[in-house]
Structure 1
Amino acid sequence: MKLGLFSVTLRYLVLTACTLLLGGVESPSFADGTTDGIKIVGVTKPAHDVKLGFPIDGVIAEIYVSEGDRVEKGQPLARLDDELQKLETEKRKVIWQDRSKLISEEHKLKIINSLLTSARKLYRDSGAVSAEEVKKLEIQQANVSGSLDTLKSNKKKEQLEYEIARAILDKHVLKSPIDGVVTEVHVDRGEWIRTGTTAIRVVDRSKVFLEMNVEESLARRLRVGSQLDIHSGEMVLKSKGKVVYVSPVADRASSLVRVKVVFENNGEMIPGKTAFVLIPSE
């Protein structure tokens, strides 16, 4: 009996704590004393919040941005020391573009083909050229043709090696994957940085998610695509929110259902703050 009472009490405490921390539910009274619906509180988060690092180890050579700078997708943010990789890439390019041997073999094959055609005609028409001489020319043709095929294959490999070197060179530059604002810079020039270490954080707050945890009975009344007013304090934001996700399962500990609402942010909301929506009372 005591164990059952303890279990019920614990479940109530967990449910209450999660409601307060992750999103609350209440029936608000406004200045005029009216109750417009059930208030569901949640936390706002930027739709895009990326922590960026280099995919290779290296020494920071340049930092192109500062905290607070607006950046565009694809804009360089920082660069690793890349002098050695530049030289390697240039070397691979020179090797790939060197076609002197290929041109020489193509010219040699053209001459041998011409000689072989003439020799075959002389052998067939007058016997002025022996069969052995024709055979030697055919062997030369096969050798040069094989050498030419090898050179062409090597050129393809050299092109791939150049493209790999160029791709590695590109990895020395950290670029923003989104339009947004630089909110954190964790590195300095001359600093060694390891693969995957966060160097710069970029946030796009033009679109914001409101994440809420609601009781199952309320979650059943929300549908993906539904539009709701977003409230911040006593202010109603200009852009309506759109329900984009209603979890198909409830949290085991709290029995609450996770709901996400997205809305366009015209500078009215600083992500990280709480906001709420109202669901009409039945």
Structure 2
Amino acid sequence: MNPDRQTLDELRIDRAAAPRGRPYGLLLVILLLVVAGSAGATWWFNRPRTAIVRTVTVQQPSSGEERTLLNASGYVTARREATVSSKVTGKVEEIYVEEGMRVEAGQTLARLDSSNVARSLELAQAQQESARATLIETEALLEQAEREFARITGLAEKRVASQSELDSARAEAKSLEARLERQKADVAVSEREVAIQQQLLDDMVIRAPFTGIVTSKTSQPGEMISPMSAGGSFTRTGICTIVDMDSLEIEVDVSESYINRVQPEQPVEAILDSYPDWRIPARVIAIIPTADRQKATVKVRVGFEQKDPRILPEMSVKVAFQKSEEATPTSLDPTIPQTAIRQREGGHVVWIVRDGRVERRAVTIGSTRGEQVAVSAGISGGERVVVDGPDELTDGDQVSEVE
């Protein structure tokens, strides 16, 4: 035999002589796999399932929220605000104020060019002096005429002076008396003219009508100013705008449907948009007795209880009309949506979510406020309740929350 073939025959495995235990091992492996699969399937179909629920947090109202009857928004306005102008048309010569400056009533704000008025005043004063001098002259002539008339009267009684001389003396005295009265009237007229020119000169000085803060400055030296619009855009109608900060109040438009909740002297809580954490005590001043037919609103004036430099005109503000202090306080029950309430065994229950599981809780229902329900017993503020979820929930079910 070929040596190489003999060597290959020796290396060949005799399968007939191989051990027969391998099929039993394979069957054992298959059996183990079947048992493991059955156990996994049993666990999968009997595992605790996680329900998807929508939850909300129980709201616990504060005392301020409980007292609020109506919320509205408006603006801070000034009851006393004036754009100060002049009484006459003239050229601005000096301005003594700037924005943000505080001015007192009667303080000089600006001056107009008064050269022409000053010359007119000087002329009126000269005419007054002339009228007074003429009056003094006439008084002297009248005094002389009266003495002459008395002398002629005495001579006429003695038949020394004629009747014609007596009549002439009487006429002269009467004429001077009349002239004196007219000149007294002329002096009075000249005095009035001087007063007018003095007032015109005083009108060249523009003063503050009341104490306040300058919020805007609308003119500059050299510009023309007039109490009425004239000359187009080249003529200003005001020097500056002054606001009396002590007269600041709030104007609110309240819907006609809710105006019955507002009463004079009603307490109000105001919150400026600029200072959202600052609650300002206020009170209703007046309800304007007319409505806006286009907006269906009624204007309400609200006054601040305390003044503060942070409050500025035209600021946006939100107000809460509150119950009066004499009103009976209501309980501060927590509120939840009506969809969270469920009927079980003739009572009301809710599902509370805690540590990923639900807990059934019996509750006592109070008043209804829109879509919210007040709960007088059973839950407290801050807890999370289910508002939407499966109907087959049971105590202890695992859930997953969504907002």
Sequence identity percentage: 24
Residues 235 and 139 of structure 1: CA distance in aligned 2, closer, same or farther (over 3 Å): same
CA RMSD, 1 decimal: 2.4
Quick one: distance in 1 between partners of 2:141 and 2:191?
Answer: 24
> 1:272 aligned to 2:314?
yes
Instruction: Please say which structure displays the higher CA radius of gyration.
Output: 2
**Structure 2 length-normalised TM:** 0.57
Is it true that 1:138 corresponds to 2:170 in the alignment?
yes
* Residue equivalent to 2:279: 236
2:77 aligned partner, one-letter code: K
Q: How does 1:136-215 map to 2 (within 5 A)?
A: 136-196=168-228, 197-215=237-255
Q: Give the distance between the partners of 2:64 and 2:166, measured in 1 at CA.
A: 110
Of 135, 157, 160, 1:128 maps to: 160
Verify: 1:67 aligned to 2:115, yes or no: no
Match of 2:79 in 1: 47
Letter in structure 1 aligned against 2:321: L
- 1:227 to partner: Cα distance: 4.6
| Residue from 140, 143, 163 that aligns with 1:110 | 143
2:109 partner SS: strand
1:194/1:30 CA distance change after superposition, 3 Å: farther
Residue 279 of structure 1 aligns with an amino acid whose one-letter code is Q
- Contact 2:266–2:323 (8 Å) recurs in 1: no
Decide whether the 8 Å contact of 1:78 with 1:173 is kept in 2: yes
CA distance in 1, matches of 2:295, 2:174: 79
Change in Cα spacing, 1:40 to 1:138, as seen in structure 2 (3 Å) is: same
Give, in angstroms, the shift of residue 97 of structure 1: 3.5
Query: Tell me, what secondary structure is at the counterpart of 1:127?
Result: coil
Kindly indicate whether structure 1 or structure 2 has the higher relative contact order, using CA contacts under 8 Å at least 6 residues apart.
Answer: 1
Give the equivalent residue in structure 2 for 1:26. Answer: none
CA distance in 1, matches of 2:186, 2:217: 44
- Measured at CA, do residues 278 and 155 of structure 1 come closer, stay the same or move farther in structure 2, by a change above 3 Å? same
TM-score using structure 1 length: 0.80
CA contact (8 A) 1:211 1:261 kept: yes
Change (3 A) 1:200 1:127: same
**Which of 58, 73, 87 matches 2:90?**
58
The answer for unaligned runs of 5 or more in structure 1 is 1-28
The residue type equivalent to 1:189 in the other structure is P
